[in-house]
Amino acid sequence: MVSFILCLLPALLATTNAQAANLNCNLCSGTAASCQASTQTCPVDKAKGGCFTVAEENTLDGTKTTSFSRGCLTDYNSTIKDPVTVTLGNGKYLRINTTRCNDTDNCNSGTLAVPTGSTTVNGLQCPTCFALNVTSCNSQITPCTGDETYCIDFIGTIQNGSATLSLAAKGCATASTKDIPAGTSLVSAFSTYNLTKVTSNPAEKTPTSGASPALGRFSFALYLPGLTGLLLVKLLA
């Protein structure tokens, strides 16, 4: 009997440890209000994964869409740590806020706000554009605002349910985008953005308007007396 218990003990301990390694996360998608009412959960391996919460707002289809979601991460390091905002010009923008945790069950039960935008010009500029079903887009230079101090250029796909479309975009972005590697997937309640190519570099300063014309007027006024004198000498010669 003692021998049987000793043989069974390692199996019992292994089962207990396996159960202890699992983490339950809240699972929902839709709006913050609908997620508060949700009681669904998903299990994840605590050693590798964790729980996430995402709040997103975008105007990529021409109308403002806000979404909220919670779920399980199979890879705890696969999400962006800091808020991301990208302004793509012509009224189009993407704002995503993500949090993650793996300390306790249902640690992603809190609420999360969408990153706020800004209309205050910050003295920087970037090429901006957005297009679907293409691998490049025609950009125009746009002043950046708020804390969007980087220029981002990316191509990839956007997946909504069973529909997948290719996309290309350029815009003003927060510094958090510099840590996004190619192959990253940004997941929201309604969409998954798979970025196959991403570059993000510090934005250039916006040229001071009127500097060159003012310099030209100054230079002309400075040399006007000399030019007049030369003209008189030529006429009198």
Hey, how many other C-beta atoms are within 10 angstroms of the C-beta on 44?
23
Confidence (pLDDT) at 205:
96
Q: What is the pLDDT of residue 214?
A: 40
Residue ranges covered by each domain of the chain: 19-205
Residue with tokens 């207990």: 16
- The answer to whether 71 touches 98, Cβ cutoff 8 Å, is no
Are 160 and 67 spatial neighbours (Cβ–Cβ below 8 Å)?
A: no
| Gap between the Cα atoms of 147 and 74, Å rounded | 31
pLDDT at site 57: 94
Task: Identify the CA nearest to 168 among candidates 145, 197, 126, 201.
Answer: 197
Taking alpha carbons only, the member of 133, 129, 130, 131 closest to residue 166 is 133
Q: Which two tokens stand for residue 176?
A: 């958090």
Give the per-residue pLDDT at 16: 45
User: 8 CB contacts (<8 Å, ≥6 apart)?
Assistant: none
Beta-strand relationship, 65-73 and 28-30: antiparallel
Q: What is the CA radius of gyration of the chain?
A: 28
Greatest mean pLDDT among 63-67, 127-131, 215-219: 127-131
Q: What is the pTM of this model?
A: 0.75
Residue 219 corresponds to which amino acid?
S
Confidence (pLDDT) at 217: 39
With a cut of 60, say whether residue 122 has pLDDT above it.
yes
